[in-house]
Amino acid sequence: MTNPAIPPADPGQAAEYPVEVRPSSMADLDDIYEFIQPFVDAGRLLPRTLDELEGLIPTGFIALVEGEVVGFVALEVYSRKLAEVRSLCVSSAHQGRGIGKKLTLACVELARRLKVYEVMAITSSDEFFRSCGFDFTLPGEKKALFMLTRDEH
């Protein structure tokens, strides 16, 4: 639902926007689970059980506008070498306002604090992640290649 008190996004300028990005907590679990379901239903996010989502909460971040969850992301830390930006989603009514970028950069900053060497994102929105400083390979690094082993039918 669109809040009429919040003006529509203007792609030509980054206007002041009342968004708060903060670490997620266990108290947010049910709200986050409910928030991500439309993204799961639309095939934009992988399904998450409450247990899986609970595991992402300690390294997750939520975006709030007027107390309403409008975005979520988590950093899944695999090792000191590698972490992944997971489950990034921003409600369609709030896209184009820099919320996704703030959430992504919160994950990158957490990885820096944890001294994780690399952060990756597996996405179909590569231009977005490139705008956040990601690239297809690190300088001098190998590329990841993928092969589908089953039909989607």
Is residue 82 classed as helix, strand or coil in its secondary structure?
A: strand
**Could you read off the pLDDT of 9-67 as tens digits, one per residue?**
444 434 466 899 999 999 999 999 999 999 999 988 888 889 999 999 999 999 999 99
Contacts of 152 (CB under 8 A, 6+ apart): none
CA distance 101 to 91: 13
Domains located in the chain, CATH noted:
19-131 (3.40.630.30)
- Which H or E run contains 21? strand 19-23
**Could you read off the pLDDT of 93-127 as tens digits, one per residue?**
999 999 999 999 999 999 999 999 999 988 878 88
Pair 25, 54: CB distance under 8 Å = no
